[in-house]
């Protein structure tokens, strides 16, 4: 397997893993809690999903995929209930699907080409890595919010033996 295909396959796996976890969290938080902030310094699940959509669009769809960058980052954090959770989730899911297609289509030249995004200069690989780790980071925040609210394990790895040692 060519390195580019292996890189893309691993990144897409991690994206899918985070989306799976976020979907579980969506099923465990009531509509009334979707936009709730525990305190003014924290973001709601709704804000975090809008933020993830904006970040993925800016780094992967625009940065790697060369689409226009129309991100309004402040609006992601300023939103507070004017959109339903279903609309936010549909927008997030559509953004992820579009980003997956951009990543799938990327060739070695586009993955190595340097670009300037959000004031930083990264290769196409760097843009994808940023989007994947950023998605994972905020997925952990959402999971924490839901676990703290519900006082329950989310079962992300139910049925998987995570105690197996490397061989």
13-49 pLDDT per residue, tens? 999 999 999 999 999 999 989 999 989 899 999 999 9
Residue 44 in domain: yes
Compute how many other C-beta atoms are within 10 angstroms of the C-beta atom of residue 122. 19
Rounded to whole angstroms, the Cα distance separating 28 from 19 reads 14
* Domain around 142: 3-150
* Per-residue pLDDT at 161: 93
Residue 95 in domain: yes
Query: Measured on CA atoms in the order 101, 61, 136, 165, is the torsion positive or negative?
Result: positive
pLDDT greater than 70 at residue 60: yes
DSSP 8-state symbol, 144: H
- Closest C-alpha among 19, 16, 73 to residue 50: 73
Query: Measured on CA atoms in the order 50, 55, 56, 58, is the torsion positive or negative?
Result: positive
Residue 167 in domain: no
Residue 159 in domain: no
Give 62's Cβ-side CA count (13 Å radius). Answer: 14
Query: Global pTM?
Result: 0.95
The structure tokens 């994206």 sit at 15
Residue 107 in domain: yes
* Per-residue pLDDT at 85: 94
Structural domain count of the chain: 1
């Amino acid at each position: 397997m060519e390195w580019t295909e292996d890189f893309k396959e691993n990144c897409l796996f991690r994206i899918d893993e985070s989306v799976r976890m976020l979907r579980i969290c969506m099923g465990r938080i009531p509509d009334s809690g979707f936009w709730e902030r525990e305190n003014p310094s924290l973001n709601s699940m709704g804000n975090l999903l809008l933020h993830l959509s904006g970040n993925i669009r800016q780094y992967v769809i625009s940065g790697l995929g060369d689409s226009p960058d129309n991100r309004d980052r402040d609006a992601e954090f300023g939103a507070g209930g004017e959109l339903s959770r279903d609309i936010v989730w549909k927008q997030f899911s559509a953004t992820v699907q579009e980003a997956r297609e951009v990543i799938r289509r990327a060739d070695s030249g586009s993955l190595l080409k340097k670009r300037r995004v959000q004031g930083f200069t990264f290769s196409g690989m760097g843009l994808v890595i940023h989007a994947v780790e950023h998605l994972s980071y905020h997925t952990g925040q959402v999971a924490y919010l839901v676990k703290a609210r519900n006082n329950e394990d989310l079962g992300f790895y139910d049925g998987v033996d995570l105690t197996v040692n490397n061989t």
